[in-house]
Amino acid sequence: MTTVLVDATALPADRGGVGRYVDELVARLPGLGLDTHVASTARDVDLFARLLAPERVHAAPARVAPTPLRLAWEQVGLPALVARLRPDVVHSPHYTLPLALTAPGGPATVVTLHDGTFFSIPSVHLPAKRRFFTAWTRASVRLADRLVVPSAATLHDVVDHVGGDERKFAVVPHGVDHARFRPPAPEQVAAVRARLGLPDGTPYVAFLGTLEPRKNVPALVAAWVRVCEGRTDPPALVLAGGRGWDTGVAPALAAVPAHLRVVRPGFVEDDLLPALLGGAEVVAYPALGEGFGLPVLEAMACGAAVLTTRRLSLPEIGGDAVAYAATPRAADLARALGALLDDGDERSRLRTAGVERAAGYTWEASAAGHARVFEEAARG
């Protein structure tokens, strides 16, 4: 039996895309015949113990929670744990890996690279993050035994900018928890409207994600204003997710006319997400580029009519089950959003098509793809 150690110490408390990816993967690997262990922060020990067993969860010291100390532990403490456990494979699911493990005689190393936008659209990232992740992507491409990417777009983005042998890469898409992300019942939508402070029946356009420059939220706000200014029953705009660091959001919101309503609920609890997404007239995700686009896939699974862009992986995931703006600019977003709000039949088609397409993406399939990579890496 192949033994895999997954380093989950980089995960934040609020589970976004990467956190959801690791949690779903760890939950399913044992069922695929892998002896699965996890290196965890002290905060997440109980969570992973429920997914595996307490003896397979190995806590890093509590003091490693700040990023610099976590990276130091990854380079020193994780190799010590590996020496004790002697796994066949170490999976580093967030760009970095312990350099000591790349010496001859160590376990096989597998690194997940979630996107290549630090190279292809560097202006949307904070300078420190850009320098850090470009350096580590280059190192991982050079040193890791195998590399997992969530889309063909990310594979090409990384290889075009970094190089590397494409045979080392495996494209393994993310999945959806279809037991949770599904079209909501009317009472669930009513509950999320109450959470948002929207009267029953009030239409809304939803965005879900961290407010970072890559998500292109100022352009969405401007497009929504342009579409809604003359409407007698304009939909509210719901901007859900972490506040992020996009300095363009505040000026865009300051320009919103007083008769239009913007709701900013912040981080939305997981149990409310299906209703938030499925209850929207349109879920708008006008990103400038994504390595995968999990919010788009989850919105599709919830029966949402999704509007996005054709940048990087997004058309790979959405196919013909979502609507696209011609470009991510506000004027083109406004044209696409207005057309979709005015066409109930098209929204209905997209809702049905989205559910059908999302059904092809499962965490079971994603875990099976990872298991194949781990087995191949262990065999050398």
- Domains contained in the chain, CATH given: 3-175+362-379 (3.40.50.2000), 186-358 (3.40.50.2000)
Please give the Cα distance from 39 to 328 (Å, whole number): 40
Our CA dihedral for 39, 44, 48, 54, rounded to 10 degrees, sits at 80
Q: Angle 223-224-225 (CA atoms, 0-180°, nearest 5)?
A: 90
Instruction: Report the interhelical angle of 217-228 vs 330-341 (nearest 10°).
Output: 50
Amino acid at 118: F
Amino acid at 290: E
Please give the Cα distance from 228 to 257 (Å, whole number): 10
Instruction: Report the interhelical angle of 294-301 vs 17-28 (nearest 10°).
Output: 70
Instruction: Provide the β-strand partners of residue 144.
Output: none
Instruction: Provide the β-strand partners of residue 6.
Output: 38, 91
For residue 170, CA distances in Å to 21, 97, 130, 176, 201 come to 16, 17, 24, 19, 45
Please give the Cα distance from 78 to 66 (Å, whole number): 16
- Residue count (the chain): 380
Please give the Cα distance from 289 to 291 (Å, whole number): 7
Q: Are strands 236-240 and 262-266 parallel, antiparallel or unpaired?
A: parallel
Model confidence, pTM: 0.94
**Tens digits of pLDDT across the chain (380 residues):** 999 999 999 988 777 778 899 999 999 999 999 999 999 999 999 999 999 999 999 999 988 776 788 999 999 999 999 999 999 999 999 999 999 999 888 899 999 999 999 999 999 999 999 999 999 999 999 999 999 999 999 999 999 999 999 999 999 999 999 999 999 999 999 999 998 999 988 999 999 999 999 999 999 999 999 999 989 999 999 999 888 899 999 999 999 999 999 999 998 888 899 999 999 999 999 999 999 999 999 999 999 999 999 999 999 999 999 999 999 999 999 999 999 999 999 999 999 999 999 999 999 999 999 999 999 999 98
Which has the closest alpha carbon to 276: 177, 357, 175, 196? 196
Written as six digits, the tokens of 321 are 């089950």
